Amino acid sequence: MCITVETIGECLGKPVVDPYGRRLGFLVSFYSDVDGRVKSIEVNIGDFEYREIPVDRVKVSPEGIVVIPEYEYEAVIVENRLKNIKGRLASLEELYSKKEIATHVYESLKKKLEEELAVVKAKSKEVKDALRRRLHEIEDQVAEVERSMGALKTSYLAGEISEKPYLTALDIMKKSLETLLREKDNVKKHIDKIESLEALPLAPAIGLQQAAGTQPAKTTPQSQSTQPMNVVVVE
């Protein structure tokens, strides 16, 4: 693992990719604290750009060093915080409804949790905006790839290019399109998950059951018959 100065040397010069396998560049340097913990890495992108990336967004895999996109990293943080705060609020309401916690403790804890929830909701809005911006960027890129594929196929069918370079170029664009569509699906899942967690109710039973992925048992009301009761007279 490229976490400490002692091990980071083994990662220098290795390729850096995103979670979808697209190469971003190469690891060329790092920044560490006095305790030897690596705080961030420096990535050479496209031979002319250098970018510092926090180590929290870095993972090591057999394929190389993986850098998590900032929008995805922030989305996961917001999702976890929303889930934890909503779960704690639901648990607090459950305890209070059963009179297992003092009123002053309940009010103090609830106020603190609600303040934290307000902060997370504000951050959630920023993250969703970033996710939607990335979604629009992906859609534009998909449209560009599809336009390029259309132009290439037209030239090939018109006999302007030979089969071998045509198939090579077409394969490159097909892989790019598949990667973009996978990323698009992932971005939409993050948006849906955040909105689902935001809408999670805080009622004790409902909140806890939904957080656990279960549904409360439904009760069937007793039917009230409007028909007269049959009376049997025994003589």
Domains within the chain, CATH numbers bracketed = 5-68 (2.30.30.240), 71-208 (no CATH)
Q: Residue type for 99, please?
A: K
Residue 59's pLDDT band (boundaries 50, 70, 90)?
confident
Q: Determine the average pLDDT of the residues in 97-112.
A: 94
Q: 169-219, pLDDT tens digit by residue?
A: 999 999 999 999 999 999 999 999 999 999 987 655 444 444 445 444 444
Determine the pLDDT at residue 193: 96
Q: Which residue has the tokens 């290019």?
A: 161
What is the overall mean pLDDT for the chain? 86
Determine the pLDDT at residue 46: 84
Q: How long a stretch of residues is the chain?
A: 235
In the predicted model, is pLDDT for residue 232 greater than 90? Answer: no
User: What gap in Å lies between CA 120 and CA 55, rounded to an integer?
Assistant: 23
The overall pTM is greater than 0.85: no
Burial of 218 (0-12, 13-18, 19+ CB in 10 A): exposed
| Contact by Cβ (8 Å): 24, 18 | yes
| Contact by Cβ (8 Å): 5, 38 | yes
More confident residue, 8 or 13: 13
Among the listed residues 128, 142, 16, 22, the one whose alpha carbon sits nearest the alpha carbon of residue 72: 128
Determine the pLDDT at residue 9: 76
In the predicted model, is pLDDT for residue 161 greater than 90? Answer: yes
In the predicted model, is pLDDT for residue 228 greater than 70? Answer: no
Determine the pLDDT at residue 8: 75
Q: 125-143, pLDDT tens digit by residue?
A: 999 999 999 999 999 999 9
* Distance set, CA 204 to CA 116, 121, 200 (Å): 19, 20, 11
| Contact by Cβ (8 Å): 190, 151 | no
* Distance set, CA 59 to CA 62, 68, 71, 155, 174 (Å): 10, 8, 16, 42, 27
More confident residue, 208 or 31: 31
| Contact by Cβ (8 Å): 3, 49 | no
Instruction: Find how far residue 170's CA is from the centre of its chain.
Output: 31
Q: Residue type for 111, please?
A: K
In the predicted model, is pLDDT for residue 54 greater than 90? Answer: yes
In the predicted model, is pLDDT for residue 24 greater than 70? Answer: yes
Q: Which residues of 23-56 are buried (b: 16+ CB within 10 A; e: fewer)?
A: ebbbbeebeeeeeeebebbbbbeeeeeeeebebe
